[in-house]
Structure 1
Amino acid sequence: MTSPDLNLLISLDVLLAEGSVARAAQRLRLSPSAMSRTLARLRATTGDPLLVRAGRALVATPRALELRERLSQVVQEAEALLRPELAPDISQLVGSFSLRSSEGFVENFGAALIARVASEAPGVRLCFVQKTRKENDALRDGSVDLETGVVGVNMGPELRVQALFRDRYVGVVRSGHVLCEGEITAPRYAQGKHICVSRRGLASGPVDQALGAIGLQRDIATIVGGFSSALALARSSDLIASLPERHSGTLRAGMHSFPLPLSLPELTVSLIWHPRLQADPAHRWLRALVMDVCKNSD
C-alpha cells in the first residue's frame, strides 16, 4: 500500500478553511490550476468529493466537515514538531549532566561550575566522571554528556570540539628542595630523580622527548597514574613532578613550581561532545557555562 502524501493535509486544511480553490491557491502561493490538481488528488486519496459546487460557491461534504474538526489540530501539531525548539527556562530545568574529565579538572574548576549551576539552574545536578582512558566511547553511547581533554589522533571525526584553554608543563618540588634556589637549567633539571605520570604505566612522555632532543635523559624513580599521587610523593620527598600547570593548580598549593627549561608545546584542553546534542538547548547552556568558567579562572 502506497503511503499518502502528508503534504496534502496542509492543502486540505487551507481548502476547507477558505472554501475556495482560488483563495486557497493564493494563500499557498500556487496557481489555481495547481490547486485544482491538488484537490483532485485529495478526492482520489480520501475517496470523497470533499468540496462540491453549490451555485458559484463550494460547500464541504459531510466527510470534509468531519475531517475539518481534527485536521486543524493535526496540522498545528505537525508544524510545532518541525519548528525550532524554544530556549527552555534554565532556572526551571531539572535533571543531571555528566562531565568526564582528567584528574585536576574537578579540583580546579569543579567548585566554580557547581556554584554557577546552583545559581542559574538549582534543579540541575552535575556528575563528574573520572577519565581513566582516552577513548571517547562514553560520548557515543550517551553515558556521559560532556568530556574535557586534549584531542588525540584516535578521537572520532564525528565528535564536536571547542577549545577551553591552553596549558603548559611545570616542574613541582617540595618547599625547601634544592631546585627552589638558583637557575634551573635543563641539565640540572634532568639530574634529579623524577616521578612520571602515566595512566598506562609508560616510562616516557612529552618531557622525555623534549629532553632527548637535546641529548638528556631524566632518572625516573617511579611511575604513578595521576597528578594527586605524583604531588603527594613530591611533597614528602626530593622527587620532581612535572605536570600541566592549570590542571594541577589547587593541588600544588604550598609547593614550589617552576617553568620547565625545555622546549615543550603547550597543551590545548578542549570540550568534547557528541553531535546528537549539538542543538539541544540545555546542552548548549551547559557547554557555554563550562567555557565561561574556564575562561574566567585564568
Structure 2
Amino acid sequence: MPTPDFNLLITLDAVLAEGSVARAAKRLRLSPSAMSRALSRLRETTGDPLLVRAGRGLVPTPRAMELRDRVSQLVRDVQEVLRPAEILDLKQLSRTFTLRTSEGFAECFGPELIARIGEEAPGVRLCFLQKPDKDSKPLRDGVVDLETGVVELSTAPELRGQALFRDNYIGVVRSGHPLSRGKITPAKYAAGKHIFVSREGGDKGPIDDALLPLGLERKIVTIVGGFSTALGLARGSDLIASVPERHTANLRQGMYSFPLPVRTPEFTVSLLWHPRFSADPAHRWLRNLVLEICARSH
C-alpha cells in the first residue's frame, strides 16, 4: 500500500469547509490549476467525487458530509502536535472562559474558583452559563469551554471528560420543620409536601422509584428548574427539597439536612470539554484548577 499524502487532508478540510473549489484555493493560496489537480487526486484517493454540481453551484456528496467533521478534527490534531510548546504566563494571560454548569455547581464551587483565578491569573474572566439541557452542541461548536454535569460520554464520544466527584441526594427542610425532630421514616418523608427539580418539567425521579416498592408516593406540590430555587422555597415554607449533597453545600447553611430514608443510586458529576482544547495550556490550567477545587471539597 503506498504511503498516503497527508497534505491531502489539509486540502480536503478546506474543500469540505468552504464547499467551493475557488474559496478553498483562496484559503490555501493555491492557483486554480493547482487546486484542480489536488481535487482530482482527492477524488481518486477517496473514490468519491466529494463535490458535485447542482445548478450553478456545488454540493457535497454524502461521503463528503460523513468525512467533514472527522477530517476537521484530524487537521486540528496535527496542528496541535506540530505547534511549538507555549510557556504559559498566567500573570499576562487575558482570556474569558465560558463554563456551562448547574446553578448549584456555580454557587458551591464558583466563589473559590474565582478567588483562585484572581490570585493566579488576574486577567482571566469566567462566564457562567446556565445549563437548560444536556445537549453537547455548545461544546462541539466552541461556544463553551467547559461543562459540568451528569453526562454519559457514550452519548458524545468525541468529547473528553474526567470525573469530578460522586454525589447523592439528601432531604432539606427549614430550621424548625417537623421533620427536623425525631426519626424520619419513609412514610413520614413521603407524607410531606415536596418540591421536584426538573429542567424538563417532569415529576418523577430516582427517589420516587425507591419509594414505589414500599407502596409510597410523594406529593409533589411544585416543580422548579434548579436546586437553588428549590432550597429557597423550602427555606421559607414547610416544603421538602431533595437535592444533591455536595452540589448544594453552601446553599443549605442554616437549614436542616437529613439522609433520605430510602436508598437512591449515587451519581458522578464530570467535567467535559472538546478535544480541540485538550493541548491548550491555559485551558489545561483551568481544568486542573476545577479538578483541584472539587477534590478538596470532600
TM-score in same-fold range (> 0.5): yes
Structure 1, residues 58-109: CA drift from partner, whole Å, max 9, x if none?
xxxxxxxxxxxxxxxxxxxxxx983542332222211111111011111111
- Equivalent residue number for residue 172 of structure 2: 172
Decide whether aligned partners of structure 1 residues 81 and 267 sit closer, same or farther in structure 2, where only a CA change above 3 A counts.
closer
- Equivalent residue number for residue 250 of structure 2: 250
Matched, 1:219 2:219: yes
Q: Distance in 1 between matches of 2:94 and 2:216?
A: 55
- Equivalent residue number for residue 266 of structure 1: 266
- Equivalent residue number for residue 147 of structure 2: 147
Q: Distance in 2 between matches of 1:122 and 1:186?
A: 50
Structure 1, residues 146-202: CA drift from partner, whole Å, max 9, x if none?
000011377311111100011110101111111001111111111111111111110
Please show how residues 46-125 of structure 1 align to structure 2 within 5 Å. Answer: 82=82, 84-125=84-125
Larger radius of gyration: 1
Structure 1, residues 256-291: CA drift from partner, whole Å, max 9, x if none?
000001111112111000011111111111100100
Report deviation, 1:126. Answer: 1.0
1:212 aligned counterpart, secondary structure = helix
- Equivalent residue number for residue 13 of structure 2: none
Q: Distance in 1 between matches of 2:265 and 2:84?
A: 42
1:293 aligned counterpart, secondary structure = helix
Output the TM-score relative to the length of structure 2.
Answer: 0.71
2:155 aligned counterpart, secondary structure = coil
Could you tell me the percent identity over the aligned residues?
A: 63
Report deviation, 1:228. Answer: 2.0
Q: Distance in 2 between matches of 1:87 and 1:215?
A: 62
Greater shift in the superposed pair: 154-163 or 218-227: 154-163
Report deviation, 1:114. Answer: 0.6
For the Cα contact (< 8 Å) 2:100–2:147, is it kept in 1?
yes
Structure 1, residues 5-54: CA drift from partner, whole Å, max 9, x if none?
99xxxxxxxxxxxxxxxxxxxxxxxxxxxxxxxxxxxxxxxxxxxxxxxx
1:134 aligned counterpart, secondary structure = coil
Matched, 1:182 2:207: no
Q: Once superposed, what is the RMSD of the aligned Cα atoms?
A: 2.1
Please show how residues 1-16 of structure 1 align to structure 2 within 5 Å. Answer: none
What amino acid sits opposite 2:93 in the alignment? Answer: L
Give the number of aligned pairs.
Answer: 222
For the Cα contact (< 8 Å) 1:135–1:155, is it kept in 2?
no
For the Cα contact (< 8 Å) 2:195–2:242, is it kept in 1?
yes
Decide whether aligned partners of structure 1 residues 282 and 235 sit closer, same or farther in structure 2, where only a CA change above 3 A counts.
same
Report deviation, 1:130. Answer: 0.9
What amino acid sits opposite 1:265 in the alignment? Answer: P
Q: Distance in 2 between matches of 1:121 and 1:5?
A: 39
What amino acid sits opposite 2:198 in the alignment? Answer: S
For the Cα contact (< 8 Å) 2:153–2:159, is it kept in 1?
no
Q: Distance in 2 between matches of 1:261 and 1:5?
A: 61
For the Cα contact (< 8 Å) 1:231–1:252, is it kept in 2?
yes
Q: Distance in 2 between matches of 1:105 and 1:87?
A: 31
